Amino acid sequence: MYTDTHPEVLHRRAFLSGLCASLGAVAVTDLLARERVHAATLKLPIHRPRAKAVILLFMEGGPSQVDTFDPKPALNARHLKESRRSAGLANGSRFFVGSPFQSRKVGQSGLDMSDPWIHLPEVADELCNYRGCQAESLNHPEALFHMNTGSRLGADPALGSWVHYGLGTVNQNLPGYVVMTELALPQGGARNWANGFLPAHFQGTRLRSTGSPLLDLHAPAHKTREHQRQALDTLAFLNQRHASKHPQHADLAARMENYELAFRMQAEVPGVIDLKGEPAHMREAYGMHQEETSVFGRQCLMARRLVERGVRFVQIFSGGWDSHDYLQRGHAARIRSVDKPMTALIKDLKQRGMLEDTLVIWTGEFGRTPDNNRRGGVRALGRGHNADAMSMLLAGGGVRGGSIVGATDAIGAEAVEVVHPIRDFHVTLLHLLGLDDNKLTYFHGGRFKQLSQFGGEVIRELLA
């Protein structure tokens, strides 16, 4: 792979990392890498890929495995009995907390789902429930960074950055890696989708949840496309003449292409993010007409449109899953907010023939404990942080639909079958995209670095 350690480039990278989500920032960061490498060209995968794109639905805060997709009758039988466990984030006197939800088998495959999931059972046979993953941190920012970047320190490239770096971009007029959040940023902020030590071109582009998704997207009313094109042509002529006299000024080429990229994005991005052209029944299917699902539904529909147009990696953050108290109320509300949109997304992708090469992932940064300390009355029951057990859902992109992979113990406290750390999950994700973690490296800090940090193995049980 290539390196990019020239002092001038490093200086510009430091400057660009502080920019916000605006068209100018996207254009500048896109062209920073083009100045040094041909990073935006389409690259061949290392081996035959099963997936071409990823949609990562990230439930920030840590959804509870036993209250979503991994029911534990033995835990329910211990409800409110004393717990002598010491693992997990809970201090003082502890007691077991049974699930406030009923669970049932759904689909022909018999996947387990708690009763707040009303729509997701319709696509149960497309889903793979992985119960064997284990995190390494009980601290939200560290755990978020680890799941999103492979490092707990928050300074390494994000998953989407590695994918974009490894495969290039299909559509030169759109970012290769797009991020959407709700009103609040996840803990750790933009470091969850930063480029880290990769060139700034590979950082995620955040689309805002309110107002214009990208600042400076539309030209002033008095400027037509023809006016802009004429101005750019004149500017290019002057810049090229100057460049021929000063070939040592490497920044000039980036500035010139910067204007061109902004011009291209102004033409293409509005058509992607404008959902008015979608049929009313499609917008309704995603839940855009209901208050509790409107934001996530809009983002899921936009994710499909972005992937359809060649974006490699789309990530959507859903916050509010950190239910230390009032688990029943909190989890029920969060499930309702994502249930209908993510079901519509999977159905929509399948109907369009896109699911087979689009990997959809539902996960948080860790799971939750089967017990908790006393934080109020019985009605205020919740759960602590648990790095030893969690549930992930995967669909499409070469995974085993309609299957349960791995298992946790009788009370959902710890993964006990097909147990793998997060780095193995990352290695598997890259494998499905045709990439080899050991070969997808970048020289930085005196050594070749990779997503897994120091290597991992593919979780073969997840593969179709």
Q: How confident is the model at residue 12 (pLDDT cuts 50, 70, 90)?
A: very low
Q: Is pLDDT at 88 greater than 70 in this prediction?
A: yes
Question: Is the model's pLDDT at 458 over the cut of 80?
Answer: yes
Give the per-residue pLDDT at 266.
Answer: 65
Q: How many domains does the chain have?
A: 1
Could you tell me the CATH number of the domain that includes residue 77?
Answer: 3.40.720.10
pLDDT 10s digits, 17-29: 444 445 555 554 4
Poorest-pLDDT segment among 83-87, 139-143, 396-400, 425-429: 83-87
117: containing domain: 39-211+274-462
**How high is the mean pLDDT of the chain?**
87
- Any domain includes 445: yes
What pLDDT is attached to residue 4?
Answer: 42
Question: Would residue 220 count as lying in a domain?
Answer: no
What is residue 13's predicted lDDT score, i.e. its pLDDT? Answer: 41
Least confident of 162-176, 194-208, 229-243: 229-243
Judge whether residue 232 has pLDDT over 80: no
pLDDT of residue 272: 78
Flag whether pLDDT at 406 surpasses 70.
Answer: yes
Please check whether residue 233 lies inside any domain of the structure: no
Among 51, 13, 50, residue whose Cα is nearest residue 32: 13
Q: Is the pLDDT of residue 445 over 90?
A: yes
∠444-450-451 over CA atoms, to 5°? 125
**Mean pLDDT throughout 185-211?**
89
| pLDDT confidence of residue 233 | 75
Q: What is the distance between the alpha carbons of residues 80 and 328, in angstroms, rounded to a whole number?
A: 15
CB 374 within 8 A of CB 384: no
**Spatial CA neighbour of 341 closest among 313, 366, 360:** 360
Q: What is the per-residue pLDDT across 249-279, written as a single tens digit (0 to 9) for each?
A: 655 664 565 565 556 666 666 777 789 889 9
Q: What is the pTM of this model?
A: 0.85
Q: What is the pLDDT of residues 121-149, one digit of tens each?
A: 999 999 999 999 999 999 999 999 999 99
CA distances in angstroms from 251 to 247, 258, 263, listed in the order given: 10, 10, 19
Secondary-structure percent of the chain, ordered helix, strand, coil, rounded to 5: 40, 15, 45
